[in-house]
């Protein structure tokens, strides 16, 4: 009889589902485990999450507003939602305290959570069962195509983790752009047709802009009140904050932008932040759009002959290739990954990363638009601000914290391997077997920035020389020993070997003087 009583009590007891700010998906696994009428959902705007780095104002605004809209949608579907907003008088500031607070009122039989995107939170959640004395069940995040275990399996016994091979597995697994077991168009990768250089006269489609509704207005007031010392502003906020509007951005992208996505993926232009990019990362990462649905739209556009294969394949590769691969690397190597610093880069981050006050036009443009929009596209992140940070030997930790703070789409699982691994080459050559470094010539080829820059792209040394030029050669000289056996760096070192030794010394001296001024 005791067992029967106990099981009756347990069935009457409520369950709790905790939904995080980047899990705004009605199909999220944790939500499937509860009864809408009987159980509770907790969502909370927490100080611990807004302040471990000082996130961009538009990032906090986007996430809080999207969370509030999502909570309303759940309520409309008759879910019982406890929403603790930032100014709620019982807002306790951290996930654990907030769950403990609700648990002390309801004595939940079970707590369901979809696994978080950050190692820090996963480790925290894993201690709760003991601390709370109730079952805490962590579910897989099915928004991703490969689980952490799938990646581990793929990575096992491999000397190097080449993204291209992982990507092919993902193509086979999803069936995207496949004809049975063969890639559509006869090739896995059409990148050779992409990445054309900058040319005059390109025009860029206008973007959908969403005027803030009453909910977003309230969040704007809140962010202005509590986060005005964070980078950026809340002015001119036009991002979508609901799935309905995010779908409009997706449709607009497929129709007007995707046809040119591949060709001009790497170009940069003064005062043009978005070019032919999708600006979908923030919606995918927060859960408003699913990565697979986004790829299916792109595949359909190709099948209906409205976009060329190089555009569709290039776009799909970014998502089921790079995005999944980056997540796999994160979970495979954390927590040690975060402390890697292969090239011992420790120089303090210069102030211009926060205020864009620099004469280097490429840096000014990329940082200024980051301050305004919380957005920069991949090549600006990798080959401008990332390239500079790597060449200048800026502190890996400070640079990673900067990227995590300033982009609306930044969550540690995706930001860290991209920054520490891809941009800074600090991860023992895991993400890239060679560093993504370049002199100013690359930036000049891919943009019109140099045309209005105070520095002269053609000069290697002297007061007017482009800093990327002497910093590039200085980097090669400084890390000669480290890269000596790397065959992918052989050409760069052959070029260096051809350079007069006096010139090498002069470039090194100028680089050191420049770095001292930062």
- By the criterion CB under 6 A, which residues form the site for ligand SF4? 360-362, 440, 443-444, 449-450, 453, 455, 457, 466-468
> What is the rounded distance in angstroms from the CA atom of residue 306 to the CA atom of residue 297?
11
Closest of 421, 376, 413, 373 to residue 396, by C-alpha: 421
Closest of 42, 492, 379 to residue 31, by C-alpha: 42
Look up residue 164 and give its two tokens: 């291209």
Closest of 189, 179, 215, 188 to residue 70, by C-alpha: 215
> What is the rounded distance in angstroms from the CA atom of residue 224 to the CA atom of residue 218?
10
Residue 183, SS3 per DSSP: strand
- Our finding on whether 392 is near ligand FAD (CB under 6 A) is no
**Least distance (Å) between residue 96 CB and ligand FAD:** 25
Q: What, of ligand SF4, ligand FAD, none, does residue 438 touch, CB below 5 to 8 Å by kind?
A: none
- Of residues 55, 381, 425, 460, which one binds ligand FAD by CB under 6 A? 381
Q: What, of ligand FAD, ligand SF4, none, does residue 260 touch, CB below 5 to 8 Å by kind?
A: none
Nearer to ligand FAD, 212 or 273 (CB): 273
Q: What, of ligand SF4, ligand FAD, none, does residue 284 touch, CB below 5 to 8 Å by kind?
A: ligand FAD
Q: What, of ligand FAD, ligand SF4, none, does residue 468 touch, CB below 5 to 8 Å by kind?
A: ligand SF4
Q: What, of ligand SF4, ligand FAD, none, does residue 407 touch, CB below 5 to 8 Å by kind?
A: ligand FAD
> What is the rounded distance in angstroms from the CA atom of residue 81 to the CA atom of residue 72?
9
- Our finding on whether 314 is near ligand FAD (CB under 6 A) is no
- Of residues 319, 329, 384, 466, which one binds ligand FAD by CB under 6 A? 319
**Least distance (Å) between residue 166 CB and ligand SF4:** 33
Nearer to ligand SF4, 71 or 443 (CB): 443
Look up residue 209 and give its two tokens: 């802009």
- Of residues 56, 68, 323, 460, which one binds ligand FAD by CB under 6 A? 323
Whether residue 465 has a cis bond before it, omega within 30° of 0:
no
Q: What, of ligand FAD, ligand SF4, none, does residue 112 touch, CB below 5 to 8 Å by kind?
A: none
Q: How many CA atoms lie within 13 A of 411 on its CB side?
A: 24
Q: What, of ligand FAD, ligand SF4, none, does residue 86 touch, CB below 5 to 8 Å by kind?
A: none
**Least distance (Å) between residue 198 CB and ligand SF4:** 12
The interface mask with ligand FAD, positions 265-294, x = CB under 6 A, is ------------xxxxx--xx---------
Contact 323, 291 (CB under 8 A): yes
The span of 161-169, 217-225, 334-342, 381-389 binding ligand FAD (CB under 6 A) equals 381-389
Nearer to ligand SF4, 355 or 464 (CB): 464
C-alpha separations of 154 from 115, 162, 292, 332 in Å: 21, 11, 20, 11
> What is the rounded distance in angstroms from the CA atom of residue 94 to the CA atom of residue 44?
9
**Least distance (Å) between residue 323 CB and ligand FAD:** 4
Q: What, of ligand SF4, ligand FAD, none, does residue 455 touch, CB below 5 to 8 Å by kind?
A: ligand SF4
> What is the rounded distance in angstroms from the CA atom of residue 422 to the CA atom of residue 414?
11
**Least distance (Å) between residue 365 CB and ligand SF4:** 8
- Our finding on whether 365 is near ligand FAD (CB under 6 A) is no
Taking phi over 0 as left and psi of -120 to 50 as alpha, with beta for the rest, 416 belongs to alpha
Residue 424, SS3 per DSSP: coil
Closest of 405, 497, 297 to residue 51, by C-alpha: 405
**Least distance (Å) between residue 380 CB and ligand FAD:** 8
> Under rule CB under 6 A, which residues in 398-427 are in contact with ligand FAD?
403, 407, 409-410, 414-415, 418-419, 422-423
Nearer to ligand SF4, 95 or 353 (CB): 353
Contact 177, 313 (CB under 8 A): yes
Q: What, of ligand SF4, ligand FAD, none, does residue 190 touch, CB below 5 to 8 Å by kind?
A: none
Sorted by sequence, the CB contacts under 8 Å of residue 340 that are 6+ apart come out as 396, 420, 426, 427, 428
CB burial of 8-33 (b: ≥16 within 10 Å; e: otherwise) equals eeeeeebbbbbbbbbbbbeebbbbeb
Nearer to ligand FAD, 39 or 313 (CB): 313
Sorted by sequence, the CB contacts under 8 Å of residue 510 that are 6+ apart come out as 461, 462, 465, 470
Nearer to ligand SF4, 28 or 362 (CB): 362
* Interface ranges with ligand FAD (CB under 6 A): 277-281, 284-285, 315, 318-319, 322-323, 326, 377-378, 381-382, 386, 403, 407, 409-410, 414-415, 418-419, 422-423
């Amino acid at each position: 009889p005791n067992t029967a009583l106990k099981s009756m009590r347990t069935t009457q007891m409520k369950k709790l589902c905790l939904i995080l700010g980047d899990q705004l998906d009605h199909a999220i696994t944790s939500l499937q485990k509860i009864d809408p009428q009987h159980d509770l959902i907790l969502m909370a705007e927490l100080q611990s999450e807004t302040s471990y780095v000082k996130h961009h104002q538009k990032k906090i605004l986007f996430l809080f507003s999207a969370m509030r809209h999502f909570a309303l949608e759940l309520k409309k579907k008759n879910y019982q939602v406890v929403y603790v907003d930032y100014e709620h008088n019982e807002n306790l500031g951290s996930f654990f305290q907030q769950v403990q607070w609700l648990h002390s009122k309801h004595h939940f039989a079970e707590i369901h959570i979809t696994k978080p995107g950050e190692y820090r939170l996963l480790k925290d959640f894993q201690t709760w069962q003991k601390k709370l004395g109730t079952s805490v069940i962590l579910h897989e995040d099915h928004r991703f195509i490969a689980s952490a275990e799938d990646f581990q399996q793929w990575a096992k016994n491999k000397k190097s983790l080449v993204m291209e091979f992982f990507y092919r597995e993902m193509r086979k697994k999803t069936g995207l752009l496949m004809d049975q077991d063969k890639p559509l168009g006869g090739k896995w990768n059409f990148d050779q047709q992409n990445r054309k250089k900058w040319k005059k006269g390109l025009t860029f489609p206008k973007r959908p802009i969403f005027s803030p509704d009453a909910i977003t207005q309230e969040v704007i007031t809140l962010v202005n009140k509590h986060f005005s010392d964070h980078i950026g502003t809340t002015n001119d906020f036009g991002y979508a904050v609901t799935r309905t509007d995010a779908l409009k951005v997706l449709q607009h992208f497929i129709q007007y932008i995707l046809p040119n996505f591949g060709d001009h993926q790497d170009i940069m232009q003064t005062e043009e932040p978005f070019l032919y990019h999708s600006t979908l990362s923030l919606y995918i990462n927060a859960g408003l759009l699913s990565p697979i649905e986004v790829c299916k739209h792109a595949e359909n556009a190709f099948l209906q002959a409205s976009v060329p294969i190089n555009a569709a394949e290039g776009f799909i590769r970014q998502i089921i290739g790079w995005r999944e691969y980056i997540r796999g690397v994160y979970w495979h190597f954390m927590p040690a990954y975060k402390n890697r610093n292969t090239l011992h880069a420790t120089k303090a981050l210069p102030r211009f990363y926060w205020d864009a006050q620099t004469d280097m036009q490429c840096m000014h443009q990329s940082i200024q638009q980051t301050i305004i929009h919380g957005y920069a596209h991949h090549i600006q992140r990798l080959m401008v601000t990332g390239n500079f940070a790597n060449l200048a030997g800026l502190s890996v930790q400070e640079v990673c914290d900067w990227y995590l703070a300033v982009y609306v789409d930044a969550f540690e699982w995706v930001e860290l391997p991209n920054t520490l691994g891809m941009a800074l080459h600090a991860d023992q050559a895991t993400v890239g077997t060679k560093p993504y470094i370049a002199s100013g010539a690359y930036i000049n080829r891919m943009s019109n920035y140099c045309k209005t820059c105070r520095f002269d792209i053609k000069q290697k040394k002297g007061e007017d020389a482009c800093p990327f030029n002497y910093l590039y050669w200085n980097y090669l000289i400084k890390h000669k020993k480290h890269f000596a056996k790397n065959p992918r760096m052989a050409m760069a070192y052959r070029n260096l070997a051809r350079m007069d030794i006096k010139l090498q010394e002069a470039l090194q001296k100028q680089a050191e003087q420049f770095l001292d001024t930062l």
